[in-house]
Structures are given as C-alpha cells and as structure tokens.
C-alpha cells in the first residue's frame, strides 16, 4: 500500500494518477473534503481507500496500520495559502501533523516524501538548501521551514528515507479548487475566456510591468521527481523542485495568448496587501538535486503552459 495525504488536492491527485500509470492502485488517499468540489480530482484515479485527515492521524497514533505493508507515504497535505495568517492553525496543520507522520514512518522504517516549499526562502535570491538563505515572508513559509529544520535535527539518525521537496511555482491540471491560490496560468486562461483580456500586476521591487520572475514548474514534472525518489530509497534530504530557469509572468501570459491565438495583455496596480510579503523572483538552484544523480529535464513555461491549455480547454 502507498499512502498519499492531500491526495484529492492539486499535486496529490496528479501523484495518484502518476502511481496509477505505474500500475499502483492499492493507494490510500487522505484528505479533507470539506471543500467537496475536490472530489472531481479523484474521479479518474484508481484508489484502494479514502480516509479523512483527522481519522488518518488518529489511526497513525493508534498504530492502526501495523498489519499492512506500507511501501511509502507521500505527504502532500497542507494549507498552502500564503495569505493565511492564522499561525496557530498553520503550525498545527502543516508542522505538528507532519511531525506525527515523520515519527510513525521512522518507527516503522517507511519512506516518507513530503512537500516543502520555495516559500522558505522569502526574499533571498540564492535558493540553496541552506539555513543561511532561508527567511520566509509569511507564516505558511515558516511552517514549511520549521519542519525542514526539524528534519535536519534527525538527519544523521534516520531509519528510513525522508525527502523534502521544495516546490517552486507549480501549475497544471487539477488546481481549480484552489481559487485565488491557483496558478497564474489558470487565472489568465479564465480571464481570456471571460473578457478577451489577460491581466498581470504592474512592476514592483524594481521589476517592470509583468517582469517579476518565478520558477514556474509543470505539475507532471513534480510528480516525476516524487517518483524518482520513490525509485531511489537510499537518498534522503531536502531538495529544490523547480526547473532551474526563472521566467517572467509576461512569458506565462504570452504562452496563454499564443495558445488561444487571440486576446490582449493589460496591467493592474500591484496590491497593497502583498507588498513586503511577495516573492518577485524565484529560481531553483538544482545543484543538490543533481548531486543525487537525478538528471531529469524540466519543461519550459512555453511547453508546460501549452500542455496545460490543452487540458483546460479540451
């Protein structure tokens, strides 16, 4: 059995599909379906069972799964809203929950591959997996940073693989339920269909209009990196998961416009509430990932957005 927490979510459901393509269907999906629309992400997935996140953590603490062989746990479940400032909720949901799973996996020698985030870097532009470059700008980033720190404390005495993947700006199928936190490609596609106009923020932090740059990574590539570590259970650590190439929001907009062969681009004032807590530039440093022997080649914005537009508009 393989367990995928957050399995009805964006990356989690794509990971379940990736496992299905490998022939896995004995998959336990763990999630919170209070936002019931997420069920749609599971309709085309083959799974063995589903559990609510609260029931799952209770069963973990009771040793419920001791009679089953768990091949690995992919822990993708988290609150990923960078605009959420309830620190108590964020730390309980993202940090404490992950600690419980971590210790269960270590006690029973189960590989754990979990979602960290590029949000741990904040405004620093080095993007190397080192504490001196990590200074999150929001409590979401801090919750991810703190578990990475917790793992580092135990790294020399691990009994089984533990991998933290620092996702950069992921986009692709199955993110509709995320609302305002869905990718810019998703929102631009909707804007174009609604009005014929796509809108980006004006410049900030010294960048021109739409020229803020991010490391945009296609969700299919993120799935492949997760599965690469599943295939390499002797490798543990914290690794950036991005393309290693920074591209502008204008590049994303132009890829959407090119797909639709119509529409125009406009710029809107930069939101006041995002000033001081917004990453205007991200670019994954892949040295540590490459040092493991992983030579996976990530898609460019142009290629990934084209695939995504095909899926969204089919």
Q: Could you tell me which of 143, 128, 30 has the C-alpha nearest to residue 86?
A: 143
Q: Could you tell me which of 190, 254, 179 has the C-alpha nearest to residue 216?
A: 254
pLDDT value of residue 90? 85
pLDDT value of residue 93? 82
Ranges of CATH 3.90.25.10 domains, the chain: 176-213+246-281+303-312
Place of tokens 């009994």: 159
- Rounded CA separation 98/104 (Å): 10
pLDDT value of residue 81? 67
DSSP assigned state of 91: I
Mean pLDDT per 10-residue interval, the chain, length 314 residues = 97 98 97 94 97 95 87 90 76 92 96 96 91 92 95 96 97 94 96 97 90 96 98 98 98 98 96 78 96 98 98 94
| Residues tagged active-site | 140, 178
CATH number of 2-171+217-244+284-299: 3.40.50.720
Please report how many Cα atoms fall inside a 13 Å half-sphere around the Cα of residue 155, on the Cβ side: 13
pLDDT value of residue 112? 98
> Quick one: which H or E segment has residue 289?
helix 287-291
Q: For residue 43, how many other CB atoms are within 10 A of its CB?
A: 7
pLDDT value of residue 109? 97
pLDDT value of residue 124? 85
- Rounded CA separation 3/71 (Å): 8
Using CB atoms within 10 A of its CB, is residue 232 exposed (0-12), middle (13-18) or buried (19+)? Answer: middle
pLDDT value of residue 10? 97
Ranges of CATH 3.40.50.720 domains, the chain: 2-171+217-244+284-299
Residues 279, 137: contact at Cβ < 8 Å? yes
- Rounded CA separation 244/285 (Å): 6
Looking at the structure, give the CATH architecture of the domain made up of residues 176-213+246-281+303-312.
Alpha-Beta Complex (3.90)
pLDDT value of residue 82? 65
The model scores a pTM over 0.85: yes
């Amino acid at each position: 059995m393989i367990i995928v927490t957050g399995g009805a979510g964006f990356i989690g459901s794509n990971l379940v599909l990736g496992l299905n393509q490998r022939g896995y269907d004995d998959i336990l999906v763990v999630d919170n379906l209070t936002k019931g629309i997420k069920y749609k992400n599971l309709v085309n997935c083959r799974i063995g069972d589903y559990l609510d996140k609260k029931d799952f953590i209770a069963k973990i603490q009771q040793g419920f799964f001791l009679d089953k062989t768990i091949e690995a746990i992919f822990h993708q479940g988290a609150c990923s809203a960078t605009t959420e400032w309830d620190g108590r909720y964020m730390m309980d949901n993202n940090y404490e929950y992950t600690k419980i799973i971590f210790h269960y996996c270590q006690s029973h020698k189960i590989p754990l591959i979990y979602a960290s985030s590029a949000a741990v870097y904040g405004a620093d532009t080095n993007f190397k997996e080192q504490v001196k470059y990590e200074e999150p700008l929001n409590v979401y980033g801090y919750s991810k940073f703190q578990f990475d720190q917790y793992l580092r404390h135990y790294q020399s005495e691990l009994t089984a693989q533990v991998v933290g993947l620092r996702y950069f700006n992921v986009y692709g199928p199955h993110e509709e339920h995320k609302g305002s936190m869905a990718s810019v490609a998703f929102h631009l596609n909707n804007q174009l269909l609604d009005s014929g106009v796509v809108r980006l923020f004006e410049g900030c932090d010294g960048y021109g209009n739409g020229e803020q740059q991010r490391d945009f990574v296609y969700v299919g590539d993120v799935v492949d990196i997760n599965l690469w570590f599943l295939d390499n259970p002797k490798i543990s650590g914290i690794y950036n998961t991005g393309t290693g190439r920074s591209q502008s929001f204008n590049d994303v907009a132009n890829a959407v416009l090119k797909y639709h062969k119509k529409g125009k681009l406009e710029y809107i004032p930069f939101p006041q509430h995002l000033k001081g807590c917004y990453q205007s530039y991200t670019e994954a440093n892949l040295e540590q990932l490459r040092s493991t022997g992983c030579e996976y080649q990530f898609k460019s914005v142009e290629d990934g957005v084209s695939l995504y537009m095909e899926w969204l508009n089919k």
